[in-house]
Structure 1
Amino acid sequence: MHRCARLRSHAHPASTPAYARRFSAGPRRQSYADTPPNLRIGKHTRVIFQGFTGKQATANAAESLAWGTKIVGGVKPGGSGEHLGLPVLPTVRKAVELLKPDATAIYVAAHQAPGAIEEAIEAEVPLIVAVAEHIPLHDMLRIHSILKTQSKSRLVGPNSPGIISAVGKCRIGFQPLPCFSPGRVGIIAKSGTLSYETVASTTRAGLGQSLCIGVGGDIVPGTDLCEVLSVLEHDEDTDAIALIGEIGGFGELDAADWIRDYRSQLSLPKPIVGLVAGTMSEVPNQVMGHAGAFTIPGEPNAQEKIDALSRAGVTIVSHPSKIGDVLKSQLSSGAWTKRPGSGSGSPSSPNTSQQHRQMSAALYRRRPSARLPKPQQQTRNLHLTSDAAAALLLSTTQTPCSPSARPSGSGALLGITIDRTSRSPCVLASPSPLDPRTIQRFPFDFTTGPSNLPLAPIVTHLQLPHSLSTLTTLRNTLTSLSTLFYTHEACLLTVQLTPSGTLHSPSFHFDDAAFRSAGRHAPLHAPLHAPLTSPNSGGLVYHRLPGPHRKIGTLVNGAGLAMNTVDALSGLATNFLDTGGKATSQTVKQSFELILADPRVSVVFVNIFGGLTLGDMIARGVLKAFEEVGVRVPVVVRIRGTREKKGMEVIRGAGLGIEAYEDFEEAVRRVVDLAG
C-alpha cells in the first residue's frame, strides 16, 4: 500500500472543532481520489469566474473568451446583471443552478480565496482552479480536510498558472496564449515560468500541446504530479509528456514510482521528458520563491529526484528549451503514426487500450525508507532562533525546553510538520537526529489533531521503552507542539527529546503568509522575531549564495526559472532572485540595486519569460536601472514570452551596450564568458 493511503487510516478523536466544515458526498462513500477525471477540460468545458468583475478577472476572461474558452458567466457576492455580456450571479450555488458550469476560475485576493474555494466545493463545481499566491498554509490544510470528505470537486492550485487545453481552446488560468499551439505534448509543472518555456519549446519543435496543468508551487497543492500523470496516460490527444519538478516534497519520487510501473505494463509507453529545478540553489533556512520550494527534514533534494526519475526511464534535460527537440526525436522514432482526423500521434500497437491500467492504480505503494536523504533545515520565511523558540514554547504551553544543543546521540527527534503526499499535518520522528534514514512521518487529520494518534508505533520507532512515563512524556510533548502548531500556524516544529524526558534544541518555522495575507500573528512576525533570511521587498525574493568564486548576478521572473537559471550557471551565480509574476519596471530597478550591492558581481544576467510579466516592461526596467542605479558591469538580457519582440527592440535600440539574446544556452555561454 502506498504511503498516501496507509497514512490516512488513523482513528480520529470524537471531538471535532467547530471550524471543521464537512460536506456530504452522497450515499455511496467515495473520495477525493475519484476526481482526477475532472481535469479533462476542452471545448465542451463551461467555465465561470469567481470575482468576475474584478480587474484581473475581467482582463483574463476577455482574453480567454477571444481565444475560444466557453465562459458562461461569473459570480460577484450579492451582485447581479451582466459583465462582458455574460450573467453575473450573487453566489456560486446560484451560478451552478442556472449556468451548469464544469469549472470555476477563482480570481480573488489570497485572504478571500479559502472562502471562495469552500463555496465552490459546497456547490459541487467539478473543477476548481485557484491561481492566488500566498494563501495561508493552515487555510489550505483546512481546505484539504474538506476535499477529503467529498468526491465531486477537484482543486488545481493554489499558486498555480492554472490548466489549459490547447487542443480544446480552453484556458482556466493566466498562461501566455501566444506560446500555445494545439498538438501532442501534455505538460505537468510545479513552476509557471518553466511550463511556459516548455510550451514555447514544443511549439517551436512543431509538436504543440494537448493538456497543460500547473500543479503550483504551494506546500500542499490540490493536485499532484501522479494525479496528472494518471490523466495524461489515458488522454487521447497526448502522445508525450513533459514533467517539470523542483525542490520540496516527495512528489517527484512518487512520480518516478508511477512512471516505472506505467512503463513496465506497456510495450509502447508514451515518452516522458523531465526537469527538476534547484540542484544548485537549495539554501538552508530559505524558501526559493515558491511557498513549497524548501526541504523539510527527510525529504529528497533536487539531484535525488533527478536520479529517481532517470532510473524510472524519464529522459532528463537541463533546461526546458530542450524539451521540444528531445520529444520530437523520440516521437519520430518510427513507432508512432498520425492519428486520422487529428493533429496528434498515437502508438501503432493495436492493444494499447487493453494494456492501460485503472486510473491511479500505481498511486498507492510504499516507498522504501532507505531513499530518505540528508535533512535540510529550511523554513517558509520565519525561522526563530533557538532562544526565541524555547521562550515561545514556554509562554504558549508552559513547557520548558533548553535552547542549547546536547551532545550528539543524546536524544530523539520529535516534531510536527506537513506530510505533503497525504496533504495533512504529521508527527515527525527519528531515533537519531543525525541519521535522516531513520525519519518517519505519522500523519493525522488537520481538523482533529494528533490527540488520538496511536503512540505505540512512534515509541517503537524512537526506540524508547514502552513504559507509562514514556507514553505520558510523549503525549505531553506532542500536545505542546500541536498547540503551538495550531495557535501560531507553524509549518515545521522540532525538538530533541532525551531519555529522561527533557526537551532541547528547538527549531521552529512559521507560515509568513498567515501574517502577510491575513494579518494574523503580528507579534510573532514583529522585528523581535526577524527571520534568519535576507529581507525581501517589493515582492522580490532575493537570497545571496555563498562562495568567493561566484561572479554572475541573476535577475529572473518566476521561482522555477530562477532556480533553473542558477543551476545552468554551474555554481557561478551570486544570488537567487525571483522578481515575482507581476514584475514592474520599478521591481527591476530594485533588483539591480540588490544584485549590484554584492561586490562579487562582474556581470548581470537578466532571464525573463513573460506570462503576466511583459517583455517590454522588463526591458524598460533594465534601462531605468542603467539611468538611476549606475550599472558598471556588463549586462546580458534574454526575454521570451509575452511581448518578447517589443522587449528585445527596446534593449537593442537603447544604445547602452546591453547584449540581448533569444536562445537561453547562447545567453548562458556569453554571460559565463564575460565572467571570465
Structure 2
Amino acid sequence: MMAKTVPHITSRLSRARTARFSTSSRSFGYADTLPNLKIGAHTKVLYQGFTGRQATANAKESLKWGTKIVGGVKPGVEGEHLDLPIFPSVRVAKEKSNPDASAIYVPGNQTAQAIEEAIEAEIPLVVAVAEHVPVHDMLRIHSILQTQSKTRLVGANCPGIISAVGKCRIGFQPLPCFTPGRIGVVAKSGTLSYETVGSLTRAGLGQSLCISMGGDVLAGTNFVDALKVFEDDPDTDGIVLIGEIGGTAEMDAAEWIKDYHKRTTKPKPIMALVGGLEAPKGRVMGHAGAWVAPGEPDARAKYEALQKAGVTLVSHPEKFGPGMKELLKDTGRLSNSSLSSASAGQRRGFHTVRRARVTVWPAQRRSLYIKQHEAFDMLEEAKVQTQTKQASPDDFHLSITVDRTSLSPCVAVSSGNQSLKSSLRIPFNYTNPAFSRAADNTIQSEIVSFLGYSDECQETVGKYLQQLYKIFRDNEAFVLETRASFSPDKEVVVHDARFGFDDAAHKSSGRHEKLHQLRDIAAEVPEEVRAENSGIVYIKLEGEGSIGTLVNGAGLAMNTVDVLILKGGKPANFLDTGGKATAATVKECFSILCEDARVNTIFVNIFGGLTRCDMIAEGIMDAFRELDMKVPVVVRLRGTNEEKGQKLIAESGLPLHAFDSFDEAADKAIRFARAEAS
C-alpha cells in the first residue's frame, strides 16, 4: 500500500489559517514571493541585530565585497554603526530605507520574533542564519507566512543566499570561494555547498545564484522553489542540488525535474549529491533536520528518485566542477567558458557498487527521546489508556510529527504490522487543527476510512488526536509515535510509544526543564556526551569500523562516511567539528577518536571556508604532538589557505599525510587501515 496524501484537506486548512499579517488579495499567497529570491547589485540589505559582534564582522566583509547595506536595527536605539544608520525597529527601517532584504543576526531563541517583525513590515526577503531555533517557533512562523504574499524566508539554520554575479551576500558564506559564473546552487548543507562552489570555481565555471535550504526541519525556501528561480534565470546555465536525509524535498525536486524535462526542449543540466546514504537509523546527523520522520523516504530513495528524473549524481562535491563542465559542453551552453580538458567520470550511481552496512549504538543526539514508561506516564496524564502487549494485526500506528512539505504538523497513520513508510499522511494547521473542533471531523473520517474501521470510531479517534496533540504542543515534541488498538468499548489503548522532543526549545530557550531532566546521560555513549559538551557532534558507529573520521560540517561528515563505505572502507564514527573548527576543537576530536580502540587510522577531511586551512593544520600538528599519537593520520585540506596548510603538514616531520584531492586522501586512509589491521 503506497503512501497517500489528502490534498483537499491541505488546501482547506491553508484557507482556514488566520490572515492577520496579510494586506494582500486572497488570490495571492506565499508562492508569489519567489521572485524575491533573485537578489543582485540592486538589493538593499538591512541587518537585524546589526551591532552584534558577528553581524558587525559580517557586514564589514559584505560591504567590502559590494553588498548594498542600508543600515540595521537595534530595538529602541537610533544612531550610526559602520557609518550606516541604526533604526529602532524594522518598521521604521522600512519607512526610511525601504530595504529589499533583511539579514537576521540574533540568537536562536530570538529568531522567530525577529522574523515576525520583518513579516509585519513586509520586508520582501528575510534570511535567518541562526542554529537552534525551536521547531515549534518555526511552526508558528510558517503558519503566518502561508497567509501572506509579501515576504519570502530563507532559513533558518543556513548560510543564506548569495549572488556571485551581483556581488550581494546575505549570510555568512566564505567569499573567497565564490566567483561570478553561470551555475546555480541550492543546498541543505553549508560545507557541502562551499565544497561545490570551490569545485565550480576551480573548473572555471563560477556561480550565478546560490540558495541555501538550511539544515533545519522547516525550511522557508526549498529545492523546488530554487529550481523554479533557476529555470527562468538568464544568468544560470546549469544547476547543482545538494540534499541529505530528512524530509521529502529531494523527492519533490525529482518530480519537478521530471516535469521540467518533459515540457522543455533544451533543459538546463542538473547535477546532485545526496548525503547520508549510510546514515544509521534513528539518529540526528548533525543538522537539526537530518533525521527521518515516520513515513519519510531515506537518502537512498531520494538518490534513486533524482537519478530516474534524469539528474547526474556524484559521490563527492569536488566532482561537480569537471562534471558540470562536461555536461555544459554536451548541451552547447559553454560558449563563453574555457573548455580545458576535464572528464565528468561520475555518472555511475552509488547503487551500482556493493556497500557494507553499518548499524549504530542506541543513544540519541540533538533531541530527547524519553523511555516508554515515561511516555506512558504522559499519555495517562492526558487520560489515554496504556497497556503493554505484543504487536497484533488488529493494531494501528498513529503518529503526530512535522510535515516538511506543508511546513506544518501532520498525522501519519498505518494499519496492522505495516510500516509507517506506507501510510496516510494528513498535514493540519498548527494553531487551529480541524480535529480540535467537534463539528469538523474530516481528519478523523479520513483516518477511520483508511484503517477500515466503522464510522462509530470517529469520535474516539478525534478525542485521541486531541489528547496526543496537546502533548505535542505543550511539550514541543517533534515526533510522537504510537501503536494502539481499540478496546471492546471503543476506547484507544496505546501499547507502544516513542516520543521525541526538540532539544533547541530547552537549550536555546530554557523551556521544559522538567521534561529534559528525564535524559539519562548514564545510559548514553560516554564519548558522545563528552563531544556534546565540547560543541562537537559525534556518533559512534557499531561494528568493525577502523577509520576515525574528523570533518567540519554535518553534510560533509555524512558524505565522508558514505564515500568511505562506497570505496570499501570501514568508518568507526560520524564526527562534525562544526563549521568553525578551531585548533582546540581539533585536539579534543583527536582525543575522543583515540579513545576508540577500534580506530587504527584517522582521516581528517576539512574544507576551509569559514575556517582557515593553515590554522587547522597547526591544530592537527599540536594535537598530534601533545597526545603522542601513534596511528597514521591522513589529512585532506581544501579551501581558504589550503596551500599553506598542506605545506605546514608536509614540512612538520610528523607522520601526517596531506592531500587536496578527496579521492586520493580517502584511498590512502583505507590502505592504511587495511595495513594496520593485517
Question: Normalized against structure 2, the TM-score is what?
Answer: 0.90
Moved more, 550-559 or 643-652: 643-652
Say if 1:486 and 1:207 are closer, same or farther in 2 by CA, change over 3 A: same
Task: Tell me whether 1:427 sits opposite 2:411 in the alignment.
Answer: yes
Contact 1:610 1:641 in 2 (8 A): yes
Q: 1: CA distance between counterparts of 2:86 and 2:22?
A: 27
2:355 paired residue number: none
Closer, same or farther in 2 for the Cα pair 1:156/1:433, shift >3 Å?
farther
Q: Is the 8 A contact 1:140 1:220 kept in 2?
A: yes
Aligned residue in 1 for 2:448: 459
Contact 1:225–1:251 under 8 Å retained in 2: yes
Alignment-derived partner of residue 165 in structure 1: 163
Q: 1:219 to 1:54 in 2, by over 3 A?
A: same
> What is the CA distance between 1:334 and its match in structure 2?
5.5
Give, in whole Å, the separation in 1 of the partners of 2:100 and 2:409: 31
Q: What is the alpha-carbon distance in structure 1 between the residues aligned to residue 23 and residue 338 of structure 2?
A: 37
Shift, 1:612, TM fit? 2.4
Q: Aligned residue for 2:351?
A: none
Structure 2 distance, partners of 1:608, 1:443, is 39
Distance 1:578 1:252 in 2: 23
Q: Is the 8 A contact 1:379 1:509 kept in 2?
A: no
Deviations 1:464-519 (A, max 9, x none): 2211xx22321221111101001100000011121323111011010000001100
Contact 1:10/1:444 (<8 A) preserved: no
> Which 10-residue stretch deviates more, 448-457 or 630-639?
448-457
**What is the aligned-residue identity percentage?**
53
Secondary structure of the equivalent of 1:290? coil
Contact preservation (8 Å) 2:397, 2:420:
no
Question: Out of 350, 373, 378, which is 1:392 matched to?
Answer: 378
1:182 counterpart residue number: 180
* Conserved 8 A contact 1:285-1:532: no
2:10 alignment partner in structure 1: 8
1:555 pairs with one of 550, 556, 560: 550
In structure 2, the partner of 1:512 is 503
- Residue 70 of structure 1 is matched in structure 2 by 68
Shift of 1:521: 0.5
Mapped to 1, the partners of 2:19 and 2:623 lie a distance apart of 50
1:532 Cα offset (Å):
5.9
Indicate conservation of the 8 Å contact 2:636/2:659, yes or no.
yes
- Are the structure 2 counterparts of residues 596 and 259 from structure 1 closer, same or farther at C-alpha, using a change threshold of 3 Å? same
1:613 CA drift (Å)? 2.5
| Aligned-residue RMSD, C-alpha | 2.2
Q: Which residue of 2 aligns with 1:368?
A: none
User: Per the alignment, do residues 11 and 554 of structure 1 end up closer, same or farther by CA in structure 2, a change over 3 Å counting?
Assistant: closer
- Secondary structure in structure 2 of the residue aligned to 1:336: coil
Displaced runs of 4+ in structure 1, greater than 4 A? Answer: 2-7, 11-14, 376-380, 527-533
1:285–1:383 contact (8 Å) kept in structure 2: no
- Cα 1:443–1:459 change in 2 (3 A) is same
Return the alpha-carbon distance in structure 2 between the equivalents of residues 71 and 428 of structure 1.
Answer: 45
Q: Partner residue of 2:342?
A: none
Residue 652 of structure 1 deviates from its aligned partner by: 2.6
Counterpart in the other structure of 1:363: none
Residue deviations 1:181-231 (CA, integer Å, cap 9, x gap): 101100010000010011011111111100001110111110010000000
Q: Conserved in 2, the CA contact under 8 Å of 1:163 and 1:173?
A: yes
The one-letter code of the counterpart of 2:430 is F
Task: Say whether residues 1:303 and 2:300 are aligned partners.
Answer: yes
* 2:287 paired residue number: 290
User: How many angstroms apart in 2 are the aligned matches of 1:4 and 1:242?
Assistant: 31
Aligned-partner Cα distance in 1 for 2:95–2:391: 64
User: Do the aligned residues in 2 keep the contact of 1:464 with 1:499 (CA within 8 Å)?
Assistant: no
Q: What is the match of residue 130 of structure 2?
A: 132
Alpha-carbon deviation of 1:127? 0.4
Unaligned runs of 5+ in 2: 340-359
Structure 1 contact 190–214 (Cα < 8 Å) conserved: yes
Find 2:49's aligned residue among 48, 51, 59. 51
Q: In structure 1, what residue type is equivalent to 2:593?
A: I
Q: Is the 8 A contact 2:294 2:401 kept in 1?
A: no
Deviates more, 1:613-622 or 1:219-228: 613-622
Q: Provide the C-alpha distance between the structure 2 equivalents of 1:379 and 1:427, rounded to a whole number of angstroms.
A: 24
1:284 counterpart letter in structure 2: K
Alpha-carbon offset, residue 639 of structure 1:
1.6
- Compared CA separation, residues 169 and 13, structure 1 to 2 (3 A): closer
Distance in 2, Cα, partners of 1:39 & 1:630? 51
Partner of 1:371: none
Q: 1:312 to 1:54 in 2, by over 3 A?
A: same
Corresponding residue of 2:481: 494
CA shift at 1:9, angstroms? 2.3
Q: Which whole-Å CA distance do the structure 1 matches of 2:607 and 2:223 have between them?
A: 23
Question: Is the CA contact (8 Å cut-off) linking 1:76 and 1:91 kept in structure 2?
Answer: yes
Question: What secondary structure sits across from 2:96 in the alignment?
Answer: helix
**Larger helix proportion of the pair:** 2
Contact 2:370 2:518 in 1 (8 A): no
* Aligned residue identity for 1:391: D
Alpha-carbon spacing, 1:379–1:408, altered in 2? closer, same or farther (3 Å): farther
Alpha-carbon distance in 1 for matches of 2:578, 2:61: 22
What are the equivalent positions in structure 2 for 1:445-594 lying under 5 Å apart? 445-449=429-433, 450-452=435-437, 454=442, 455-467=444-456, 470-500=457-487, 501-530=492-521, 534-535=528-529, 536-548=532-544, 550-570=545-565, 572-594=570-592
Pick closer, same or farther for the CA change 1:83–1:217 going to 2, 3 Å.
same
Q: CA deviation at 1:5?
A: 5.6
Alpha-carbon separation, structure 1, partners of 2:57 and 2:303: 38
- How many Å apart are 1:21 and its aligned residue? 8.3
Alpha-carbon separation, structure 1, partners of 2:172 and 2:161: 9
Indicate the SS of the match to 2:603: strand
TM-score of the pair, normalised by structure 1:
0.90
Pick closer, same or farther for the CA change 1:120–1:5 going to 2, 3 Å.
farther
Find the aligned partners of 1:89 and 1:217 in 2 and give their Cα distance: 30
d(CA) in 2 for partners of 1:108 and 1:4? 37
Report the alpha carbon displacement of residue 646 of structure 1 after superposing the two structures with TM: 3.1
Measured at CA, do residues 424 and 662 of structure 1 come closer, stay the same or move farther in structure 2, by a change above 3 Å? Answer: same
- Cα deviations across residues 45-81 of structure 1 (Å, max 9, x unaligned)? 1111111111111111110111111111111111221
**1:35, 1:154 within 8 Å by CA — same for their partners in 2?**
yes
Q: Distance in 1 between matches of 2:419 and 2:204?
A: 49
C-alpha displacement of 1:416 = 0.6
Q: Please tell me whether the aligned partners of residues 608 and 638 of structure 2 are also in contact (alpha carbons under 8 angstroms).
A: yes
Q: Give SS of 2:400's match.
A: strand
- Name structure 1 gaps, 5 residues minimum: 346-375
CA distance in 1, matches of 2:26, 2:421: 40
